C-alpha cells in the first residue's frame, strides 16, 4: 500500500482523472472531496461490503429456496391484513 | 432473444427489456446486462436476472406493498445517472428480497422461514433509458433485513 502524508487542502491524483482532496481534519475524522469520472462508483468501503454480502446472500437464497414458500408466506400475511396494501411507485 | 437462467431454464425476453447497469451490481463484477423476469403466477415477486451469467438472479419486489412510507431520495441518483429529464413516475423502485430459514433455537422445533428485504440499497430502474442502478443509502435508519411479512 502506498502511504502519503497530506495537509488539509492538499490533493492526491490517481491516474488521469481522479483527484482526492483532503478538505477538513477533525478529531479522528477526515473529510475528503473526490473528483472522478461518472463511470466510477465511489462508496464507503464498509457499506459497499455489506451491500455486496447482501446481494450474494440473496442470490444464494434464490438458488436454494423454493419460490412457492415465499408466495405462501406473502399470501398468509395478506389474508391476515385483509387488503390493506396499495401498489404505487410514489417516492 | 433467449437467455439461460439457472432458476427458469431458457427464457425468451424482448431485446428492449434488457437493462444496462453502468455501475454493475455489487458482488458480481463485470456483469452489467440484466433483465427483470416478471411472471404473473409469482407476483408480487419478480427476479433480476443476469443476462450473461445464468446463476446470478436476485428476487425483487415492490417495497410499497409492505412499507408504504418507504422514502428514497432519488434526485441525486437521477443527477448521477443523467436521468434528469425523467420524472419520478418514469422510474421504478424495487427491493431485493431474501428468504431463508432461521436456525431454530430448539432443535426439535421447525426452522421458521424469514422473508426480508434490503431497504438500504434498492434498485432503481429507468425503463425508458433501459438502465438500472442499485442505490446505496448512507446514514439511514433502514435495515438490510426489513421484515416483509
- The residue of A34, A48, A49, A51 whose CB has the most chain B CBs within 10 angstroms, and thus the best one to mutate to test that interface, is A51
- Residue B54 CA to residue B10 CA, distance in Å, equals 9
From B84's Cα to the closest Cα of chain A, the distance in A is 15
Residue that is written with C-alpha cell 423454493 in the block = A66
Whole-angstrom Cα distance, residue B140 to residue A59?
24
Q: How many Å apart are CA A25 and CA A42, to the nearest integer? A: 20
pLDDT above 90: percentage of residues in chain B: 77
Strands (E) across B9-75 are located at 9-12, 19-20, 33-37, 46-50, 57-61
Q: How many residues does chain A have?
A: 91
**Rounded distance between C-alpha atoms, residue B31 and residue A65, angstroms:** 23
Helix H or strand E segment including A72: helix A67-81
User: ipTM for the complex?
Assistant: 0.91
Least confident of A28-37, B69-78, B101-110: B101-110
What CA–CA distance (Å, rounded) separates B146 from B26?
A: 19
Smallest Cβ distance to B113: which of A39, A73, A85?
Answer: A73
The pLDDT assigned to A87 comes to 54
| B130: region left, alpha or beta (phi > 0 left; psi from -120 to 50 alpha) | left
| Secondary structure, 3-state, A23-40 | EEECCCCEEEEEECCCCC
**Quick one: pLDDT at residue B109?**
63
Statement: residue A81 has pLDDT above 80: no
**What would the pLDDT profile of B102-115 be if each residue is shown by its tens digit?**
775 666 666 688 89
B43: left (phi over 0), alpha (psi -120 to 50) or beta: beta
> Which of B62, B98, B131, B147 to mutate: most A Cβ within 10 Å?
B98
Tell me if chain B has a CB within 8 Å of the CB of A70: yes
Amino acid at each position: 500500500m502506498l502511504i502519503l502524508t497530506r495537509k488539509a487542502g492538499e490533493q492526491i491524483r490517481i491516474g488521469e482523472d481522479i483527484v482526492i482532496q483532503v478538505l477538513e481534519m477533525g478529531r479522528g475524522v477526515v473529510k475528503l472531496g473526490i473528483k472522478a469520472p461518472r463511470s466510477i462508483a465511489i462508496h464507503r468501503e464498509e457499506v459497499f461490503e455489506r451491500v455486496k454480502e447482501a446481494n450474494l446472500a440473496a442470490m444464494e437464497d434464490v438458488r436454494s429456496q423454493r419460490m412457492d414458500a415465499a408466495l405462501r408466506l406473502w399470501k398468509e400475511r395478506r389474508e391476515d391484513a385483509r387488503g390493506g396494501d396499495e401498489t404505487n411507485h410514489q417516492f | 432473444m433467449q437467455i439461460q437462467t439457472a432458476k427458469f431454464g431458457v427464457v425468451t425476453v424482448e431485446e428492449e427489456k434488457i437493462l444496462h447497469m453502468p455501475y454493475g451490481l455489487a458482488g458480481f463484477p463485470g456483469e452489467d446486462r440484466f433483465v427483470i423476469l416478471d411472471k404473473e403466477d409469482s407476483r408480487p415477486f419478480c427476479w433480476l436476472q443476469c443476462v450473461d451469467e445464468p446463476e446470478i438472479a436476485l428476487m425483487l419486489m415492490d417495497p410499497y406493498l409492505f412499507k408504504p412510507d418507504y422514502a428514497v431520495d432519488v434526485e441525486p441518483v437521477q443527477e448521477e445517472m443523467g436521468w434528469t429529464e425523467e420524472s419520478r413516475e418514469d422510474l421504478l423502485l424495487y427491493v431485493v428480497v431474501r428468504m431463508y430459514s432461521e436456525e431454530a433455537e430448539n432443535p426439535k422445533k421447525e426452522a421458521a422461514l424469514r422473508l426480508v428485504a434490503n431497504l438500504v440499497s434498492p434498485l432503481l430502474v429507468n425503463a425508458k433509458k433501459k438502465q438500472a442502478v442499485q442505490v446505496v443509502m448512507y446514514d439511514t435508519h433502514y435495515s438490510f433485513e426489513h421484515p416483509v411479512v
